[in-house]
Structure 1
Amino acid sequence: MGDNFAPSFTKKPKLRQEDDGNKLIFDCQLSANPKPEIAWFRGEEQVRESSRITITLRSGAKNTHDVQLILDDVEEEDAGLYKVKAKNKYGEVSASINLNFSRKC
């Protein structure tokens, strides 16, 4: 199975919370060969790793790749439209997910 192909989503981004909502994890899964380069954006700005932000890309069987963006110590300022882009030399794909907060009184 030496076929090379552009990235495509096998699971679109979804959002889950951990640590009573203090940690947010954007999860998605891609199929691509060769392994894609991943970039996350919030609005037009690229998200960079920091003490609060972790980006992971784990390769699995059959050219699948699990992608995560993990936000720690979540703040209201983290709200916005997030986009993940995956590209290799055969093509590029992207998907968006919105993060908004509804405050409880």
Structure 2
Amino acid sequence: GSSGSSGFRPHFLQAPGDLTVQEGKLCRMDCKVSGLPTPDLSWQLDGKPVRPDSAHKMLVRENGVHSLIIEPVTSRDAGIYTCIATNRAGQNSFSLELVVAAKESGPSSG
């Protein structure tokens, strides 16, 4: 370790665990990360980048909490999500599994 290097690598203060969400509902993953300089966050599903679109939104709140919001959740959203925080001092990540439960189909489910 060199002395006098400014900055420290990202560290997740808060990270979600595995989730089970019903199809068609809202799924939200909140995490909070510290680091200097402020880390960039990227999300991956099964190793492929999650791209923001009408159903996938990435938010940052004033208190520093980053959220990935999926609404509506579909069966193809299921899988292993990895959140990677990167800055010039290093990088850190966490993973969780999202399970998508089938929609309740009325009383005549077979």
Q: Could you say which TM-score interval applies, normalised by the shorter chain?
A: 0.7 to 0.9
Aligned to 1:93: 92
- Structure 2: distance between partners of 1:25 and 1:95: 15
8 Å CA contact retained: 2:77, 2:100: no
The alignment's C-alpha RMSD in Å is: 2.4
Deviation at 1:102, TM superposition (A): 3.7
Change (3 A) 1:89 1:83: same
When normalised by structure 2's length, the TM-score is: 0.76
Q: Going by fraction, where is helix more abundant, 1 or 2?
A: 1
- State the 4+ residue runs in structure 1 displaced beyond 4 angstroms: 15-18
CA distance in structure 2 between the aligned counterparts of 1:92 and 1:37, rounded to whole angstroms: 9
Alpha-carbon distance change, 58 to 31 in structure 1, aligned in 2, over 3 angstroms: same
User: Under a length normalisation based on structure 1, what TM-score does the superposition of the two structures give?
Assistant: 0.80
Cα distance, 1:21 vs. partner?
6.3
Q: Secondary structure at the match of 1:49?
A: coil
Using the TM superposition, name which of 88-97 and 29-38 deviates more.
Answer: 29-38
For residues 30 and 81 of structure 2, what CA distance do their matches in structure 1 show? 12
Residue 28 to residue 14, structure 1, CA distance change in 2 (3 Å): farther
Q: Find the counterpart in structure 2 of residue 41 from structure 1.
A: 44
Query: Relative to structure 2, which stretch is displaced further, 69-78 or 7-16?
Result: 7-16
Q: Does the 8 Å contact 1:16/1:25 carry over to 2?
A: no
Q: How many residues align?
A: 98
Structure richer in strand, relative to its length: 1
Higher relative contact order (CA 8 A, sep 6+): 2
Contact 1:58 1:66 in 2 (8 A): yes
Which consecutive residues of structure 1, in runs of 5 or more, have no partner in the other structure? none
Q: Give 5+ residue unaligned stretches, structure 2.
A: 1-5
Contact 1:40 1:84 in 2 (8 A): yes
Q: Percent identity?
A: 29
